[in-house]
A and B are shown apart, each in its own frame.
Chain A
Amino acid sequence: DIQMTQSPSSVSASVGDRVTITCRASQDISSWLAWYQQKPGKAPKLLIYGTFSLQSGVPSRFSGSGSGTDFTLTISNLQPEDFATYYCQQANSFPRTFGQGTRLEIK
């Protein structure tokens, strides 16, 4: 299985800040990387797929980059509704695997 490791596990930030979350795959997954946002008691929501592509309806302050084994999710100009847990997921091979999550908290 491909292991997905996110860092940090949690981060505190303020409204208006820029935050970067990193995801590392245990082997090359090319650009087969997605990011999800999950709020308490809710299902995850797709934010970014194919490393860079913004899902329809997702604000442009979310962006993704990377390739191979190292990827980042950047959230610019943090808004109150962005405080949540974020997961990366590799879609390159089976079984699909997720990172352990990064909890974004209000400072």
Chain B
Amino acid sequence: QVQLQESGPGLVKPSETLSLTCTVSGGSINSFYWSWIRQPPGKGLEWIGYIYYSGGTNYNPSLKSRVSMSVHTSKNQFSLRLNSVTAADTAVYYCARETSTWNNIDCWGQGTLVTVSS
């Protein structure tokens, strides 16, 4: 059974770059679309974007100018970078897997809280 686990700093200073990595275990990263989704405390879900194992990406236009994603197939990992962060970027960040059949998100990491504060 595939499991996803986010890792990275839980505190980032304003104007700096948020960096997270997701490790995929129990299955290969060489298929599916690998997504990042975030949830501000007490609020709803926002799709950040995804990366295909071959490197193709699709980002939310609302974040596109600040987001980049990369995939590291040899390590079964993929990563998120969000630059120029503000307090509005404080959220639980989830990595997840989107299927290519019905485009649903069928597997989620447990989530990691990232707080933007000086």
Contacts and interface: CB of A to CB of B under 8 A. Distances in A.
Contacts, number: 60
B104 A49 contact: yes
A84 interface: no
Contacts of B62: 95
Nearest to A97: B47
Contacts of A83: none
Interface size, B (range): 20 to 34
A99 B46 CA distance: 10
Interface residues of A, number: 25
Contact of B44 (A87, A92, A94): A87
Interface string B76-109: 0000000000000000001010010011111011
A101 B44 contact: yes
A98 B102 contact: no
A100 B104 contact: no
Interface in A24-71: 32, 34, 36, 42-46, 49-50, 53, 55
A96 interface: yes
B102 A50 contact: yes
Contacts of B46: 98
A22 interface: no
A31 to B, nearest CB: 8
A1 B109 CA distance: 26
A45 B108 contact: yes
A43 B102 contact: no
Contacts of B47: 95-98
Given A44-B45, A98-B44, A98-B45, A49 B102 contact: yes
Contact of B102 (A34, A94, A95): A34
A99 B104 contact: no
A72 interface: no
B40 to A, nearest CB: 12
Contacts of A32: 102-103
B26 interface: no
Given A32-B103, A91-B103, A95-B61, A43 B108 contact: yes
